[in-house]
């Protein structure tokens, strides 16, 4: 036996104890991912076909048409990018900012920080306006900053998952157009769950993810851009510095030519087609109303139990609620108890809110009255067991 064969045999012997893959049952009521719809999982499990197969090319067109409905836009270049939401976020920066160009980023949470980090890596002239984690920007604040700083792009997170804030977007698109500025929106925690009107609100660029409002597993990031954005992309002086995310190349695959760019995750596109089909069947307004109704039921129930919510109801995000951890409660202990004993995941705080809040998600398939009732019942019966001081109340 040669040395190479001996090593291979030893490795095989050492690895023989592994059993078949097992995943415990979980109800995912955290910041994402949420549970995928059963019909989506069926589509995901279909046998793969080639990414240039006629049947797959037809499916690509279905996905684009369904995405335009869900985005509420007529943008030609609308597609699910291969990669999680951060891939489309980076594509939005890599394709539309050249070195030294100014981007104005409205930062009110963790994902605003990520936009700043990405833009700086592409050597943009980054200008930042900030709000405390839990507050939203006013229209007047944004208008003043755009008119004063004159950026090439203004970027803001619509639904800030770290803080639980829903940012109003009305009127910003008009300000951007008057100042020759592209309007970029992070819709990771709003697409397919909350009112989002790309064309009406004059949003030039937007991106999201597959694993929240669309009730799919992680792996794709829906993206859309209008003609104003296409013009800026085509007028670049330099090549897009990221080959995989280069929209001028992806356009040839997702455009009418269907020219090979990369091996597409075909099964994930089976899944997203099904998730989008389910949204279309329910109807967008019905989907939005369902998320709003279940969120309000959760908020009222938590407050009736004596819990305090982090964000004012005026700007509270229906898909992600930040609940303040009472001072006398072991927050990690309660969160871990829900997971280990009831199979329910809620999220810890992120960044500045770490250890201060729990993050409770009601997104897509998971946004239903049954899940709200189940979680409220557990807050009622189990939270008292995690009081640091036996006699304390909250």
pLDDT in tens, 271-291: 999 999 999 999 999 999 999
If one counts every other C-beta atom within 10 angstroms of the C-beta of residue 141, the result is 13
Asked if residue 394 belongs to a domain, the reply is no
Q: 143 lies in which domain range?
A: 38-281
Task: Let me know whether 134 and 240 are in one domain.
Answer: yes
Q: What is the mean pLDDT of residues 332-343?
A: 97
Are 312 and 363 part of one and the same domain? yes
Note whether residue 2 is domain-resident: no
Q: Are residues 195 and 321 in the same domain?
A: no
**Last residue in a domain, options 266, 281, 296:** 281
What are 135's two structure tokens? 């507050």
Residue 41 has pLDDT above 70, yes or no: yes
**pLDDT of 292 strictly over 90:** yes
Q: Of all helices (H) and strands (E), which one includes residue 206?
A: strand 205-207
For the stretch 159-198, pLDDT in tens is 999 999 999 999 999 999 999 999 999 999 999 999 999 9
Indicate if 164 and 109 belong to the same structural domain: yes
Cβ burial, residue 263 (10 Å; 0-12/13-18/19+): exposed
Taking residues 265-274, what's their average pLDDT?
97
Q: Indicate if 106 and 92 belong to the same structural domain.
A: yes
pLDDT surpassing 70 at residue 393: no
Residues 334 and 240 in one domain: no
Do 184 and 210 sit in the same domain of this protein?
yes
- Are 80 and 272 in contact by the 8 Å Cβ rule? The answer is yes
CATH number at residue 345: 3.90.1150.10
Same domain for 166 and 89, yes or no, is yes
Number of independent structural domains in the chain: 2
Do 277 and 328 sit in the same domain of this protein?
no
| Contact criterion met (CB below 8 Å) for 203 and 182 | no
How many degrees, rounded to 5, is the angle at CA 42 between CA 77 and CA 72? 30
Residues 67 and 207 in one domain: yes
Model pTM above 0.75: yes
Q: Is residue 22 part of a domain?
A: no
Residue 220: DSSP 8-state: E
């Amino acid at each position: 036996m040669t040395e190479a064969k001996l090593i291979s045999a030893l490795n095989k012997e050492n690895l023989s104890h592994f059993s078949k893959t097992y995943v415990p049952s979980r109800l995912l009521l955290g910041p994402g991912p949420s549970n995928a719809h059963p019909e989506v999982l069926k589509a995901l499990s279909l046998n793969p076909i080639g990414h240039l197969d006629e049947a797959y090319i037809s499916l690509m067109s279905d996905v684009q048409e369904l995405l335009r409905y869900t985005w509420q836009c007529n943008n030609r270049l609308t597609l699910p990018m291969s990669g999680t939401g951060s891939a489309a976020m980076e594509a939005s920066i890599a394709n539309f900012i050249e070195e030294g160009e100014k981007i104005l980023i409205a930062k009110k949470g963790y994902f605003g920080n990520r936009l700043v980090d990405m833009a700086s890596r592409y050597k943009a002239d980054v200008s930042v306006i900030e709000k405390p984690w839990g507050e939203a920007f006013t229209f007047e604040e944004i208008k003043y900053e755009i008119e004063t700083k004159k950026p090439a792009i203004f970027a803001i997170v619509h639904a800030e998952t770290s803080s639980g804030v829903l940012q109003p977007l009305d009127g910003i698109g008009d300000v951007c157009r008057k100042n020759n500025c592209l309007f970029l929106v992070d819709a990771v925690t709003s697409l397919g769950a909350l009112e989002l009107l790309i064309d009406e609100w004059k949003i030039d660029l937007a991106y999201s993810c597959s694993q929240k409002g669309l009730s799919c597993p992680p792996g794709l990031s829906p993206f859309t851009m209008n003609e104003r954005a296409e013009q800026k992309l085509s007028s670049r002086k330099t090549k897009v510095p990221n080959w995989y995310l280069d929209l001028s190349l992806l356009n040839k695959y997702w455009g009418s030519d269907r020219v090979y760019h990369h091996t597409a995750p075909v099964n994930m596109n089976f899944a997203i087609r099904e998730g989008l089909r389910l949204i279309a069947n329910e109807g967008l307004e019905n989907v939005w109303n369902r998320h709003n109704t279940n969120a309000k039921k959760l908020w009222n129930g938590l407050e009736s139990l004596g819990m305090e919510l982090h964000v004012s109801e005026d700007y509270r995000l229906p898909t992600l609620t930040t609940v303040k951890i009472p001072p006398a409660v072991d927050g990690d202990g309660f969160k871990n108890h829900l997971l280990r004993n009831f199979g329910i995941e809620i999220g810890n705080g992120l960044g500045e809110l770490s250890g201060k809040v729990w993050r409770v998600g009601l997104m897509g398939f998971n946004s239903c009255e049954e899940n709200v009732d189940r979680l409220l019942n557990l807050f009622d019966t189990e939270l008292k067991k995690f009081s640091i001081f036996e006699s304390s109340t909250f």
